[in-house]
Amino acid sequence: MTYASVARALSDVPPQTIPVLTREISAKDIPQPLLLALEARQAERAMILGLSQELMLSLRPELDRMAAELAQRSVEGMWAKRAEIYKTSSSTAI
């Protein structure tokens, strides 16, 4: 069932027939168009979560490379500052 067919099915239901959930409702009391809309929403959510999982898996190598590069630059920067401190302290000691 597509989103369009669910939307069409829901448009046939007047707002006053949509139940207000103030009490527990058994599944048999839920109108079929509402069940279809909920199933479509659940399928859409599953699809989006699947796409985000695929995206993260495909980006993993690039994220790992960027993290390693950042760590390496940080260590090199720290070492350069340390070398500058040693250079400054050794030139003042002479």
Report residue 80 as tokens. Answer: 């350069």
Q: In the prediction, which pLDDT does 9 show?
A: 58
Enter the pTM of the model: 0.45
Structural domain span for residue 16: 3-93
Closest CA to 37 of 71, 56, 73, 13: 13
Q: CA 17, 23, 29, 30 torsion: positive or negative?
A: positive
Q: What is the mean pLDDT of each run of 10 residues along the chain (94 residues)?
A: 56 72 82 93 96 94 97 97 87 68
How many independent structural domains does the chain possess? 1
